[in-house]
Structure 1
C-alpha cells in the first residue's frame, strides 16, 4: 500500500481507501454485518487505514460496523463520517447547528468512539456554504474533543471552492473520474494551494467504468442505478456520475482500446485518478471482498502513458464533456 498526506490534517492515508455506502450489501439490499465485517477486515489486512462512512448508510448500521472494526484492531485506522443527510426535508433552512451537533453525537454513539478523525458535511444545499455559523459549530466540537478535523462532501466544484474559504475545512470529498474531469482544473489548483485533502468518491462512475456492464444489464428496483438516473431521489450526478447510461457504455468501449490487455477496467480507472497529485485518496466502495481485491489491483498497474492520458481526455471531450462538464 502507498500513503499520501491528507492535506493539512497531516494524516497519512492509504491511496486506495474504502467507502462504505454499499459495504454490508449491494445497493437495494439489506445490510449484512457479517459481510461488512469480512470486507472491512480484509481492507485493513491489505493496508487500508482510512474508512469513509455516513450516518445514513444502512441507517446507521455502516457506522456501527466501522466502529466495531476500529475497536477490534490494533492498527491505526482513521474514521471519516458525514452528517446532514438525515435532515427531512434536506434544505438550507433545516441545517442548524443544534441539529448537526446531535448528528455528530449520534455518530459517536453508533461507533462507540470518543472522537471522530474527520466529520464531513454531507452534500448540503449550496446556500449552506455561505453560512459561517454552520462552520463555526465544528470549532466548538473540536474544542470539546468530539472531532479532530472538518471536511465537506460536495456535488459541485463551486461548492468545494467556497468551502475551502473557511479556514477550518481541511478536506473536500468530490466526484472525480474518467467521466467527471472538471475538478482537475481550477479546483485541484486551489486545493493544492490551500493544502486541502482531496478525497475522491464515485471513482468508477457507479460501476460503469469497470467495463462489466452492457445494454442488457439490469438493476433492481431499489438500486439507485435504476431509479435515480434522472435525479428522482438525489443529485443525479451521484448515479453513473451523471452520464447517460448508453453514452457511458459507448465511451467504455473506446476505453477498452486504450487498455486492451485488461478485461476489468476498474484498476486502470483508479490508477488514472492517482496520477493527479492533488488527490489524497480514493474511496471506491465494495459490496464483496472480490470488489476490494479488484480495487487494490490499481496499485499494481503502471501509470498511464502520456498517450493513454491524452486519449482518455479526448474520449471525455468528445462523448462526455458537453452534457456533463458544466453541471457539476
Structure 2
C-alpha cells in the first residue's frame, strides 16, 4: 500500500535488503549503499557537519507515530507535513492503530528501509524493540530521528523532545499538588508500561514527590491505559473504586487525561478529585469549562512535528550529524542547538486553564 520511492542509485541495495528481510533477518548485516552514500546523510558519511550546506529538496520523509488516528499524533504529524511541503520535500505517514503494537512498528521500519525513503521520524512505543530495525535503516542510508518518545541513543541520530523530561515530570506533580492543597492520595494514569517518555516522566514525578513539601502526598498506584480511550476510562473508574479517598490523578498522556476527564465529568467525583497531566486544548476545553479540570499542560504538538521534519532534512542535507553542540535553523521555529545524546528540545511546556485555553486551537 506504499508507493515506490527508491531512487535509481539505490536500486541494487534496496533489492538486496528486500531479499534479506524476506528471510526474516533484521540484524545489521544487510547490503548497504556504496561507499559514497553508505551512511545516513552526507554529514554522517564524513562525520562532519556543514551548517552552510544547501537544504536538499525532493526528499521523502516518513513519519511513524506511536499510533495513527490518535488526535495528538494527527496534529504533530500534520505539523511535519506542513514543514516538509515548505522545504520542498515529500511527507508520508505510516503506523499501527494500536499504541502497543511494537512488532507492527518494526515491520513498518523494515518496509520503509526497503523503499529507501530518505529519512524516518519515529515515536517509539518501546525503547529497545526498534533498535535492530532502525540500525539497519541507518546502515542503508536512511536518516533516523525520534520525536515525542525516544529509543536507545545508538538507534537514531537525533531525538526531538517536547521539553526536558525533568521539567515535564516535575511540573505535573507541582500542578497537582497545588490543586489538592499539598495533601492526600494521588495516582498516575499512564499509557503503555513500556512507553519511554511516560516512564521517564514518571521517574521524575516520583523523585519530585520525595521533596519535603510533598510529605503529605502519597502515590498509591500507577495504572496503564495503553493509550486506549476505553481502557483508560475503565482504569480511571478502577482507581476510584480501589482508592475511594483519592484526591488527584495525573495522566501524562493525551488519550489518558481525556478519558479520565470524561469519566470524572459524569460522576460524583467531578470537582472533588483533581485531574491534571498532558492534554490538548481542543480535547480538554469542555472539561476545563465545566470544572472537571483546573489546569493541565502540554507543548504545541504541531511545532514538535515540524521540528522533527526540519531535523530530518538538516541531517539528510549534511547540515548536522546529531552531535552535541551543533546548531541549525528550523524555519519559523528559530535556531536550535543539539544537546547531550543528540537531544533537541522544543521548549518549555505551556499551562492551560480557563483564563487562556480559548487562545489555543489544537
TM-score, length of structure 2 as denominator length: 0.30
Which of the pair is proportionally richer in strand? 2
